[in-house]
Copies of this chain bind each other. A is one copy, B any other.
Amino acid sequence: MQNRQILSRGDNVKNSIGREIPQYIENYGTPKLYDGPFGNIAEATRRQPVFTCVKPGENKVVESLRDAIVKCGLKDGMTVSFHHHLRNGDKVLNLVMEEIANHGIKNLRVAASSIFPVHSPLVKLIEDGIVSGICANYMSGPVADAVSEGKLKYPAIMHTHGGRARAIESGDLHIDVAFIASPAADCYGNINGVEGPSACGTLGYAVPDAMYADKTVAITDNMVEYPACPIDISQEYVDYIVKVDSIGDPKGIVSGTTQVTKNPIDLKIAKMTAEIIENSGLLKDGFSFQTGAGGTSLAVAAFVKEKMKNQNIKGSFAAGGITRFLVEMLEEGLFKSLFDVQCFDMYSIESYGRNMKHQAMSASMYGNPHNKGAVVNNLDVMILGATEVDTDFNVNVTTSSNGNIMGGSGGHSDTAAGSKLAIVVTKLIKGRLPIIVDSVTTVTTPGETVDIIVTERGVAVNPRRADLLEKLSDTKLPIYTIGELKEMAENISGVPDRLEFEDEIVGVVEYRDGTVIDVIRKVID
């Protein structure tokens, strides 16, 4: 790429887990090096936004996206932000970026909490120099491929969910204009996520954007009468409101019916996981739990639910992205409350709209390490996935086996750091490749925060958790060292070829505290 003659200056240095990080990264700056999960948590501050006050009688509704862009004073080189609650059904990012492109503005940074295949039109904007930077907590599809191929002018910054909130609040990620996809909005900018054709439930990821951006624009296809109660984002933080035809495609917004897996291998992993939870000593009154929306994770939840019912255990809360399965556990009295940062299905959206024990949380409340205590800090058990795990228990969920970006932390690192028991569940071999390796391609989550790996063929406890190993010693669980698990996998699938990389850095992986835990280099074809 002609515009990246210099991609790094000076020698590489190693951060505390031995990843080689350049002393200076062009178009990123001097990285703060990762130094342990709590190495950069002490005092913090929040940025001081400067904003224009709104007087009585002033109208905040503007005629068009173009008007909003003009009124916000959007200029070359600025940062615009988006949230991903509409997931692969989101139309707002593309609508806004198309209008920005038409308006002749260029060299923008797009800070989207996540980027999905639906956002493929961004690729052309990257090629045309309209978009030169991206920050995201998760990225998959054509945009992730383009970034991996080195098409983006600046390295992409990969955040965690809590880390993005931290970066926005602290001012490390200064958002000039936040565009908030709004399932319902009123004429004064109150927003809720539970009404309208694009209802998505809570708007947790968008809260820091709205509060700390210089300008905030609500974009809605559903203007409701004032006030848009129950309010998720308040009029105090919204400058302009724009009505568009449609902000989302409901088919892409909800994940459909999230279901417990029927695959026997996944069920085996889930059952072992539930047994570990039971033996950890954490499964008692006040229990708290987070899991993803995948089939294996839900199977873990199902086994845990059964144990809670049998033992008459009243849990405290389930947290994170919320599925029907967890709502039903709330409704059955197995949890006191839900902390919901995003709803995965219609049942959850409806529950959030009616049940006060189904509580919204912002991304900051969820996982920001630089506040007075995030919800992840109170998690007992977290169920995590993995693309790769290495013998130091480092986990990669950012890059695929071919070295390209195909994910990102989301809440992975946040919950691993916060929870008392962070369990990685994975098949030992996926796509004919062993999951356990000597060294992961990209470190998303440091092994220091991962307690145990569960595969269908065996379980490996992090040696830092001698207490956990002790607790599991009376079970019949197949416990091995992580090295033994790796060998087991390699005996079946062979040792995979190592990927080779260019010097060029296409992505910087920021840990939740803003330090650099790894960089993503361009793969040699």
Q: Contact residues of A with B, CB < 8 Å?
A: 38, 41-58, 60, 188-189, 216, 225-227, 229-231, 234-239, 286, 316-317, 336-337, 339, 353-354, 356-357, 359, 364-365, 368-378, 417-420
Contacts and interface: CB of A to CB of B under 8 A. Distances in A.
A359 B230 contact: yes
With a 10 A CB-CB cut-off, give which of A47, A53, A235 has the most chain B CB atoms: A53
B316 A53 contact: no
Given A45-B51, A51-B43, A55-B38, A188 B373 contact: yes
Contacts of A374: 236
A449 to B, nearest CB: 10
Contacts of A364: 236
A55 B43 contact: no
A85 to B, nearest CB: 19
Contacts of A372: 51-54, 60, 189, 216, 235-239
Q: Which of A316, A354, A419 lies at the interface centre, i.e. has the most chain B CB atoms within 10 A of its CB?
A: A316
A361 B336 CA distance: 25
6 contacts: A53-B371, A57-B377, A188-B373, A227-B317, A227-B378, A229-B357
A454 B464 CA distance: 76
B47 A48 contact: yes
A188 B378 contact: yes
Contact of A49 (B46, B53, B369, B376): B46
Nearest to A288: B226
Q: Name the residue in A230, A337, A372, A420 with the highest tally of chain B Cβ atoms < 10 Å from its Cβ.
A: A372
Contact of A417 (B44, B56, B60, B286): B56
Contacts of A230: 356-357, 359
Contacts of A229: 336-337, 356-357, 359
Given A44-B51, A227-B337, A238-B372, 12 more contacts: A43-B52, A45-B49, A47-B48, A53-B370, A53-B371, A55-B369, A60-B372, A226-B316, A227-B375, A229-B337, A235-B373, A239-B372
